[in-house]
Amino acid sequence: MKVLYSPAEFHLIFNYQQKAGSMRKLENKVVIITGATMGIGESLARLFAAVGAKLTLAARSRDKLETLARSLGPDALPVRTDMTDPAAIREMVRLTVERFGRVDILINNAGVGMYTSFADTPSEHIEQVITTNWLGPARAIQAVIPQMRKQRGGQIINISSVAGKISIPWMSTYCSTKFALNALSYSLRMELAEENIQVISVCPGRIKTPFTDNAFKDARTRALRPGGISPDRVARAVLRASLRGKREIVVPASNWLLVWLHGLMPRLADAAMLRIIRRGMRS
Ligand SMILES: NC(=O)c1ccc[n+]([C@@H]2O[C@H](COP(=O)([O-])OP(=O)(O)OC[C@H]3O[C@@H](n4cnc5c(N)ncnc54)[C@H](OP(=O)(O)O)[C@@H]3O)[C@@H](O)[C@H]2O)c1
């Protein structure tokens, strides 16, 4: 029997088949996700598992990692990893290769926020943020490159921030780490291109996760509360960026306006940013 579809039905089916086809590109891919126990990392883990990827889930909380891995099935490997410990990072990569035989994608997602007055922040707190947000991801990249070279390719996805493109008051240390992570991504993208290793920079705006509660704060910034878009939206944007081999994404895309404003009218951007943060601190 001949089946005829209306243009709208045809469009739906065509889109579905195209999406299903590109999703299959991630089936059986081996993906390391750091900071997988909550927030954006957990959303990434659930989404990449749903499209058939094999996952190494890394973070410090062993119980949360094991519960998440059990809920995702046998192709999820929980590996307790503190991103401030170089030996633990090397072990995370070694265990991934031992279990799955390769590493296709590294998602450097683990991170910690800091909303404090820079002048009064203890240097050991600054060190913790720099090590978690920049040195840890940098070491993870160095640890996966030899394996990706052997495979003749791979993808490195760095979860940076809009705070890595515009400066925010009382977030000087955090912004510094994310600007530095973006700089690393931009340089490495060129450096590794001829070895077929792609580097993607992901810059989320304000995302509703436990991030603000987990961040270092002081008396002035204690009132700041989580808000923004859902981490699932970031996870979907990362998956699309991975499939399309994008260079850089900002999520939500409307935040590009802030980035452009910061570049074109820096004084106006500074004033707007001060107002936004002061309002958040008062509430
Ligand atoms: N939420 C936002 O508004 C926002 C905006 C822009 C960018 N980002 C970035 O997005 C990424 C994820 O943030 P999120 O919002 O999902 O934050 P989150 O909810 O606080 O989750 C952070 C994750 O990182 C892990 N982590 C923290 N320190 C670690 C360490 N030393 N070693 C290993 N794992 C560590 C935590 O797990 P354990 O505690 O179990 O280790 C947790 O799984 C971060 O890089 C953040 O900077 C977030």
Answer whether 40 contacts ligand 1 (Cβ < 6 A): yes
> Identity (one letter) of the amino acid at 124?
E
Opening angle at CA 110, ends 105 and 113, nearest 5:
145
Number of domains in the chain: 1
Residue 203 falls inside a structural domain: yes
Q: Which residues are catalytic?
A: 174
Protein residue with its CA nearest to atom 17 in ligand 1? 211
Distance CA 113, CA 280 (A): 15
Distance CA 58, CA 194 (A): 29
CA 204 to ligand 1 centroid distance, Å: 12
Strand partners, 217: 115
CA 131 to ligand 1 centroid distance, Å: 13
Residue 96 falls inside a structural domain: yes
Helix, coil or strand: residue 59? strand
Residue 281 falls inside a structural domain: no
SS3 sequence of 190-231: HHHHHHCEEEEEEEECCECCCHHHHCEECCCCCCCCCCCECH
Domain ranges, residue 68 = 24-255
Residue 276 falls inside a structural domain: no
Given ligand 1 and candidates 60, 64, 92, 179, which is best to mutate, with the most ligand atoms within 8 Å of its CB?
60
Answer whether 81 contacts ligand 1 (Cβ < 6 A): yes
Q: Are β-strands 30-34 and 54-59 bridged in parallel, bridged antiparallel, or unpaired?
A: parallel
Residue 263 falls inside a structural domain: no
Given ligand 1 and candidates 34, 38, 202, which is best to mutate, with the most ligand atoms within 8 Å of its CB?
38
Strand partners, 199: 156
Whichever domain contains 189, its CATH number is 3.40.50.720
Asked if residues 158 and 189 have their Cβ atoms less than 8 Å apart, the reply is no
Protein residue with its CA nearest to atom 36 in ligand 1? 35
For the CA of 108, the closest atom of ligand 1 is: 45
User: Is the bond leading into 252 cis (omega within 30 degrees of zero)?
Assistant: yes
Which pTM does this prediction carry? 0.94
Strand locations in 69-196 (E): 76-80, 105-108, 114-115, 154-159
pLDDT in tens, the chain (283 residues): 445 555 565 565 556 566 667 777 899 999 999 999 999 999 999 999 999 999 999 999 999 999 999 999 999 999 999 999 999 999 999 999 999 999 999 999 999 999 999 999 999 999 999 999 999 999 999 999 999 999 999 999 999 999 999 999 999 999 999 999 999 999 999 999 999 999 999 999 999 999 999 999 999 999 888 899 999 999 999 999 999 999 999 999 999 999 999 999 999 999 988 998 888 887 6
Distance CA 105, CA 116 (A): 34
Residue 202 falls inside a structural domain: yes
Distance CA 198, CA 208 (A): 28
Residue 84 falls inside a structural domain: yes
Protein residue with its CA nearest to atom 18 in ligand 1? 211
